[in-house]
Amino acid sequence: MEAVGLWQSAFDLMLGFSLFGLAWRMLFCADLFKSIVLFITFGLLMAIAWVRLEAPDVALAEATIGAGLTGALLMSAFAKLRTLDNSLKSGQPLLPRPRLHVINFWIALLFTVLLTGGLAYAVLSLPSHSPGLSDAVMSQLDSSGVTHPVTAVLLNFRGYDTLLEMAVLLLSIQSVWSMAGMSDAGEVHTSPVLNVLIQLLSPVLILVSAYLLWVGAHAPGGAFQAGSILGAAGVLLVLSGRPLFNLKKSWLIRLMLVAGPAAFIALATLTLINEGQLLKYPVANAANYILLLETLATVSIGTTLLALFVGSQTEAVQQDQSHQ
């Protein structure tokens, strides 16, 4: 067992320093495209770090959202930026060195080093054992309606947080829509290989999404991971040039966007009246409530993430059409 622990420690050290090194290269590299690729790599390594920290739910969310969807967002923004900025087109190292005055740079560096030292001291002076809220969670798990503690926290004990998070998502898509975007950046590349790939992958992605939603009650998974995979399936369809329904005008899309938050608010009101407390489910029905909320939240999260990706891309064109 001792040897296994040593290998694991070596792996942890390698992973941690790789994360730091990747972040360093990503943030201080003169080529934006390379930065984005390094960011995606960074997200995937973060997912491994979450597994090492015994947080498989976070690993799933990081791999699909942190690396996958954020990467797609950054790539599409970079492509649009390249149509605006000629210096990005030629592929040469495009960024000048930091334009700050040298003294300002050193002041910033000094401040950062001091801050790092202070924070590190604060972290290391914490007690090495702290029960946190694990006892409270475990003692109440039986009355939550699910057997997976993370889902119990997200949808029951701290359902309030998730309610507000759905509101944040709705707010973000509203603000992206309200800012005039720009016309579609580039031509859509289609090829028979891509078509077959998407025909095979889309149903699988939807199936995986439903599986994650269902399994979240007793194992790692849940609405966020399921929703982000659903969103990723949509992104794949959009990227391959599938004529998806008009993402802004369709009332169906709007309904899907608000389904999650609306269900949360409705249930919060209901429980406030019946139980006298916000989102306090009756124990007998908790499992059903959680499943209902999670299903609608999955749909809303997936639609929101897809709409955020498409958002700015086709906005200007659609506005022109509506003015005519």
Partner 1 sequence: MMLADILTIILLLGGAFFFLAGTIGLLRFPDVYTRLHALTKADNVGLGLIVTGLAIQAQSWAAAGKLILIWLLVLLAGAGVSYLIANGALARGVAFWKR
Partner 2 sequence: MSMLFFYALIGVGLFTLGLLALVVQPHLLQKILALNVMGSGVFLLLVALGGRSQPVVDVVPQAMVITGIVVAVSATAMALTLMLNLSRSSPGAQLPEDQSADS
Which among 50, 46, 52 has a CA at the least distance from the CA of 23? 46
Instruction: Answer with the entry of partner 1, partner 2, none that 13 interacts with (C-beta below 5 to 8 A by kind).
Output: partner 2
Asked if residue 228 binds partner 2 (CB under 8 A), the reply is yes
Q: Which is nearer to partner 2, 127 or 192 (CB)?
A: 127
Segment contacting partner 1 (CB under 8 A): 21-29, 61-69, 189-197, 277-285? 189-197
Q: Which is nearer to partner 1, 164 or 197 (CB)?
A: 197
Q: Which is nearer to partner 2, 4 or 180 (CB)?
A: 180
Asked if residue 101 binds partner 1 (CB under 8 A), the reply is no
Contacts of 296 (CB under 8 A, 6+ apart): 259, 260, 262, 263
Residue found by looking up tokens 């149509």 in the block:
83
Site string for partner 2, 78-117 (x = CB under 8 A): x-xx--xx---------xx-xxxx--xx--xx--xx-xx-
Instruction: Answer with the entry of partner 1, partner 2, none that 302 interacts with (C-beta below 5 to 8 A by kind).
Output: none
Min dist CB 19 to partner 2, Å, is: 6
Query: What is the rounded distance in angstroms from the CA atom of residue 94 to the CA atom of residue 198?
Result: 34
Of the candidates 44, 48, 51, 77, which one interacts with partner 2 according to CB under 8 A? 77
Cα 23 to chain centroid, rounded: 18
Segment contacting partner 2 (CB under 8 A): 148-156, 240-248, 270-278, 287-295? 148-156
SS3 46: helix
Min dist CB 7 to partner 1, Å, is: 13
Asked if residue 302 binds partner 2 (CB under 8 A), the reply is no
Asked if residue 97 binds partner 1 (CB under 8 A), the reply is no
Asked if residue 187 binds partner 2 (CB under 8 A), the reply is no
Min dist CB 3 to partner 2, Å, is: 16
Burial track 293-307 (b if 16+ CB lie within 10 A, e otherwise):
bbbbbbbbbbbbbbb
Of the candidates 119, 120, 197, 283, which one interacts with partner 1 according to CB under 8 A? 197
Min dist CB 118 to partner 2, Å, is: 9
Pairs from 68-73 (Cβ < 8 Å, separation ≥ 24): 68/43, 68/228, 68/232, 69/228, 69/231, 69/232, 69/235, 69/305, 69/309, 70/39, 70/43, 71/36, 71/39, 71/40, 71/43, 72/232, 72/235, 72/239, 72/309, 73/308, 73/309
Instruction: Answer with the entry of partner 2, partner 1, none that 271 interacts with (C-beta below 5 to 8 A by kind).
Output: none
Query: What is the rounded distance in angstroms from the CA atom of residue 304 to the CA atom of residue 167?
Result: 11
Dihedral angle, C-alpha 55, 60, 62, 66, nearest 10 °: -170
Min dist CB 247 to partner 2, Å, is: 14
Residues 164-183 that bind partner 2 (CB under 8 A): 165, 168-169, 172-173, 175-176, 179-182
Number of residues that bind partner 2 (CB under 8 A): 100
Burial track 260-288 (b if 16+ CB lie within 10 A, e otherwise):
bbebbeebbeebeeeeeeebebeeeebbe
**Angle at 213 (CA atoms; ends 208, 214), nearest 5 degrees:** 100
Give contact residues for partner 1 (rule: CB under 8 A). 189, 191, 193-194, 196-197, 200-201, 204
